Structure 1
Amino acid sequence: MKIIPFAVSSRFNEQQYEQGAQWLLQNRCEILSNPILRIGLETYLNGSDEERLRELQRACSEERADAIWAVRGGYGMTRLLPMLKDCEPVAPIVGFSDTTALMMHFWALHGLKSLHAPLITQLSEESAESSQALLLALNGQARDVAYPSLSLRKTYLKDRIRGTLLAANLSMLVELLGTRSMPSLCGTILVLEDVGEKPYRLDRMLTHLWAAGALKGIQAIVLGYLTDCGDEPFKVFEERCQSFEIPLLTGLPVGHEQPNWPVPIGVEAEIQLQSHRGTLKVLEEVFPSRLLFRC
Structure 2
Amino acid sequence: MKKRQFIKSLGLGLGIVPFTGFTTTNKPINPDTLLPKKLQPGDRVGLVSPSAATADIMEFTFAKEALEALGLKVVEGKYLSERRGHLAGSDAERAADLNDMFGNKKIKAVVCIRGGSGAARILPLLNYELIKKNPKPIMGYSDITALHNAINAQTGLITFHGPNGSGSWNSFNADQFRTVFFGTGGTITYKNELEETDDLVIKKNRIRTIHPGKAEGDLVGGNLTVLTALAGSPYLPDFKNKILFLEDIGEEPYRIDRMMSTLMLMGVFREIRGFVFGQCTDCDPSGGYGNLTLDQILDDYLLPHKIPAFRGAMIGHVPKQFLLPFGAKMSMDANQGILETRGAIFQ
- Please state which band the TM-score falls in when normalised by the shorter chain: 0.7 to 0.9
Alignment of 1:199-210 (within 5 A): 199-210=253-264
1:95 correspondence with 2:149: no
| Other-structure match for 1:110 | 155
| Other-structure match for 1:270 | 331
Pick the aligned partner of 2:343 from 264, 270, 284. 284
8 Å Cα contact 2:70-2:174 kept in structure 1: no
8 Å Cα contact 2:211-2:306 kept in structure 1: no
| Other-structure match for 1:24 | 67
Supply the distance in 2 between the matched residues of 1:272 and 1:245 (Cα, whole angstroms): 14
Supply the distance in 1 between the matched residues of 2:88 and 2:181 (Cα, whole angstroms): 27
Which string of whole-angstrom CA distances, capped at 9 and with x for unpartnered residues, describes residues 213-265 of structure 1?
Answer: 23332011101110111244243212221234443211211111111221111
Pick the aligned partner of 1:62 from 104, 107, 113. 104
Supply the distance in 1 between the matched residues of 2:92 and 2:171 (Cα, whole angstroms): 38
| Other-structure match for 2:37 | none
| Other-structure match for 1:153 | 209
Supply the distance in 1 between the matched residues of 2:327 and 2:186 (Cα, whole angstroms): 13
- C-alpha change, 1:196 and 1:155, in structure 2 (3 Å) is closer
The unaligned stretches of length 5 or more in structure 2 are: 1-42, 194-205, 286-292
CA RMSD of aligned residues (A): 2.1
1:267 is displaced (CA, Å) by 1.0
Q: SS of the residue aligned with 1:88?
A: helix
Pick the aligned partner of 2:81 from 37, 40, 43. 37
- C-alpha change, 1:142 and 1:23, in structure 2 (3 Å) is farther
Instruction: Give aligned pairs, total.
Output: 280
- Range with bigger deviation, 193-202 or 134-143: 134-143
Alignment of 1:1-295 (within 5 A): 1-12=43-54, 13-34=56-77, 36-41=80-85, 44-89=86-131, 90=134, 91-122=136-167, 125-140=168-183, 141=185, 143-148=187-192, 151-156=207-212, 158=213, 160-231=214-285, 232-272=293-333, 276-287=335-346
Letter in 2 for 1:186: K
TM-score calculated relative to the size of structure 1:
0.87
8 Å Cα contact 2:158-2:326 kept in structure 1: yes
TM-score calculated relative to the size of structure 2:
0.75
Letter in 2 for 1:269: M
1:198 is displaced (CA, Å) by 1.2
- C-alpha change, 1:36 and 1:84, in structure 2 (3 Å) is closer
Larger Rg: 2
The unaligned stretches of length 5 or more in structure 1 are: 289-295
Supply the distance in 1 between the matched residues of 2:170 and 2:126 (Cα, whole angstroms): 35
Which string of whole-angstrom CA distances, capped at 9 and with x for unpartnered residues, describes residues 87-135 of structure 1?
Answer: 432212110111111111010111010110100001xx23312321121
Which string of whole-angstrom CA distances, capped at 9 and with x for unpartnered residues, describes residues 160-188 of structure 1?
Answer: 21111124111111111111111111111
